Structure 1
Amino acid sequence: MTPVENYHDWLRDAHAMEKQAESMLSKMSERLEHYPALKLQLERHLEETRQQQALLEEVLSRNGISTSSFKDAMSKIVALGQAVSGMMTPDEVVKGAISSYVFEHFEIACYTSLIAAAEAAGDPQGVEVFKSIRQQEQAMADWAAAHLPELTAAFLNRSAQPGVEAKK
């Protein structure tokens, strides 16, 4: 494949990745009951994710590329599986927060690669879009890292109290 063909394929992957992020963030925020700071941050990032999808769709359109319905559908199925598996654990909120932190770093890596691919493909507008999105993903990862200890402590505190739900 040429650099441009790879770039186009990775754009489709990024779109599917953001569809997966939307599903994961939506499901997790819907289930949260006892962790308002986390819920608020997830809702904020969910809105950013939807804006990121729109930006990606503009880059795809400008490059004459259609999205991949298959990749988008598969990413949603993966997100659903992650949500369902998380619901089965007694420490759902902690595992979900850890998974979210890991996923943010996956996105950061993908956008870092897309920046290089956009440069190689001669798409300077794409470079700027991906840098902007990567900055948002980094901010979310930083927030998660900073708040994971307090979230864990809150979970442990709730979990230690008889009759108090801690998982969500």
Structure 2
Amino acid sequence: MTITAIDTIRPLFVTGLRNAHALENEALSIMNRQIERLENYPDMLARLREHRQETEIQQERLERILEQLGEDHSSFKDAAASVMGSMAALGHAVAGDEVLKNTFADVAFESYEIASYTSLITMAKAGGFNAAVPLLEETLREEMAMAAWLGENVPNVTERYIALEDSGGRGKR
């Protein structure tokens, strides 16, 4: 690889890592709000709690990669993403079908994360940042597992929502 290509890839990779760290910060804000409000969906609550722990570890992985590159995450991006996550979660809180809207949004968010980590892995390989690849691949597997779980559970959440609504209008959360 030429020096020019490396000079191009490194800043792109660092920016992508910082963006991913902020994205995980946003994910934590969203999950924390959802966890606070879930009352009638124990399977979803348990899986969100588990994924929250995974997300915290994912942030640590990103910090480790950035540190290896002599860089740091962006506190500004993290703060902005956290606010955006809180606002997104609050937007669904007023909806009568909050749990459904959250589930749909979570599926979309996981897809976004999958694309982000796939891109970061591509950049890491292209830039020769080989130590980052296994860490990013581990996170990608976790995001893919969460996306699969959410996708598989849309029918279960929907059925539970219908049943709770039918028995007194408690399906919202």
Q: Is the pair's TM-score, using the shorter chain for normalization, greater than 0.5?
A: yes
**Shift in Å, 1:125:** 1.3
Matched residue pairs, number?
167
CA distance in 1, matches of 2:83, 2:153: 28
Report the TM-score when normalising by structure 2.
0.94
Distance 1:26 1:15 in 2: 16
Q: Deviations along 1:87-109, whole A, 9 cap, x unmatched? A: 11000001101111110010000
Q: Which whole-Å CA distance do the structure 2 matches of 1:69 and 1:136 have between them?
A: 24
- 1:14-50 deviations in whole A, cap 9, x for unaligned? 1100111111111111110000000000000000000
**1:108 aligned to 100, 108, 114, which one?**
114
Which residue does the alignment assign to 2:171?
A: 166
Q: 1:161: how far off?
A: 2.3
Counterpart residue number, 1:148: 154
Could you tell me which amino acid in structure 2 is paired with residue 131 of structure 1? E
Structure 2 unpaired stretches of 5+: 1-6
Write the deviation string for residues 63-106 of structure 1: whole angstroms up to 9, x where unpaired.
11111111111101110111110111000001101111110010
Q: Which runs of 4+ in 1 moved over 3 A?
A: none
Q: TM-score, normalised by structure 1?
A: 0.96
Q: What amino acid is the match of 1:166? A: G
1:17 and 2:18 are equivalent in the alignment: no
Give the alignment's Cα RMSD to 1 decimal. Answer: 1.0
2:4 aligns to what? none
Q: How does 1:6-85 map to 2 (within 5 A)?
A: 6-85=12-91
Match of 1:99 among 100, 105, 111: 105
The alignment partner of 2:61 has SS state of helix
One-letter amino acid of the structure 2 residue matched with residue 10 of structure 1: G
Local SS of the residue matching 2:131: helix
Q: Which amino acid aligns with 1:132?
A: E
The unaligned stretches of length 5 or more in structure 1 are: none
Between the aligned partners of 1:108 and 1:84, the Cα distance in structure 2 is 24
Provide the C-alpha distance between the structure 2 equivalents of 1:82 and 1:159, rounded to a whole number of angstroms.
24
